[in-house]
Amino acid sequence: MAQFDKKIQKIGVYTSGGDAPGMNAAIRAVVRVGISQKLEVYGIHNGYVGMIENKIEPLQLRDMANIIQRGGTILKTGRSTEFMRPEGRARAAQNIKNLGLDALVCIGGDGSFRGAHALWEEHQIPVVGVPGTIDNDIFGSDKTIGFDTAVNTALEAIDRIRDTAASHDRLFIVEVMGRNSGFIASHVGLAGGAEEIFTPDANTTVEKAIDRINEAKSRGKTSSIIITAEGQKPGRAYDLADAIRKKSGMDAKVCILGHQQRGGSPTAADRILASRMGAAAVDALFKGYCDVMIGTEGERLIQVPLDLVYKNEKKNQLDLISLASVLAT
């Protein structure tokens, strides 16, 4: 966390990393709160890519019309390898300064915040972060923008798959997003009534899963759903299906939900979260705070230093997985 003492007049906003539903609501909040406070607000396209390539344009109130309900990000997003190098960041910083932007709001995840922190450390550009990622794996915030929507999208798919599983007396393995994190898997698993949940952090084993399914069968349950986070690479569900087949002879169908989890109209919770966080980010800049992320703690908004955010790992709620296990009996 840091403080700067310049009165801001022009700010920029960008989305970075994977897109998440609700990013548009956050952009809208930054722009409209900013303009209501007499700021000029600029949109930086494609994240750090556009910052380096100087794809930056002024945003007006009317540009924000009719976007609160849209998935994706109207500013587009991107991943820049060039920005990882000091020269890339210097070029980006120069563009920001040339345009006279006094401060930035960065909507993204860990990698994006690392870049934002560097902009402050190396070039004294004040940045406030807003956590936007469907994975919910951001230290310092109970919730991230897009997570609620992604979980509900995955849940709808699972509700549908259960119809087929029940009609055919089948075992399904459904793979949801989450490389290093199991938040989507644990939430969807509990909400979807899954028999077993595999995440990078839970200690579920194939043997336990087979035991549980056999136990369920003995009680008369003829179909089951296992949820797995994608883990190191998409396609983990196929490996799980193989392992289950080899150890038990049971045949499992695989569904990989994939990128549909990223899109779609944001839920009410995500729109509200994004609106509040976007407004709070501008407010923080007004008060001279920077190098922080806006987070939530319960219903309250808090500020967390950016380096704390990306240097720490958020723990998944493993109790949800235990609860799911009891409730799916």
Report the binding-site residues for ADP: 28-32, 162, 193-195, 219, 221-223
From the list 59-67, 91-99, 196-204, 305-313, the region that binds a second copy by CB under 8 A is: 59-67
Residue 99 amino acid letter:
L
From the list 88-96, 118-126, 271-279, 303-311, the region that binds a second copy by CB under 8 A is: 271-279
* Conformation bin of residue 327: beta by default, left when phi > 0, alpha when psi is -120 to 50: alpha
CB 35 within 8 A of CB 129: no
Q: Under the criterion CB under 8 A, does residue 251 sit at the interface with a second copy?
A: no
CB 109 within 8 A of CB 131: yes
191-220 binders of a second copy (CB under 8 A): 191-193, 219-220
What secondary structure, in 3-state letters, does 42-56 show?
A: EEECCCHHHHHHCCE
Q: Under the criterion CB under 8 A, does residue 99 sit at the interface with a second copy?
A: no
Q: How many residues bind a second copy (CB under 8 A)?
A: 83
DSSP for residue 261: G
281-320 binders of a second copy (CB under 8 A): 297-300, 317, 320
Please enumerate in sequence order all residues whose Cβ is within 8 A of that of 36, keeping only pairs 6 or more positions apart, or say none.
none
Please enumerate in sequence order all residues whose Cβ is within 8 A of that of 203, keeping only pairs 6 or more positions apart, or say none.
none
Annotated binding site for ATP: 18, 79-80, 109-112
Q: Under the criterion CB under 8 A, does residue 255 sit at the interface with a second copy?
A: yes
In the structure encoding, which two tokens stand for residue 261, read together?
Answer: 């989890």
In whole angstroms, how close is the CB of 248 to a second copy at the nearest point? 21
131-150 binders of a second copy (CB under 8 A): 142, 148
67-96 binders of a second copy (CB under 8 A): 68-73, 76-78
Q: Under the criterion CB under 8 A, does residue 265 sit at the interface with a second copy?
A: yes
Residue closer to a second copy, measured from CB, 169 or 313: 169
Residues tagged active-site: 135
For the chain, state the CA radius of gyration: 22
- Cβ neighbours, 10 Å, residue 170: 17
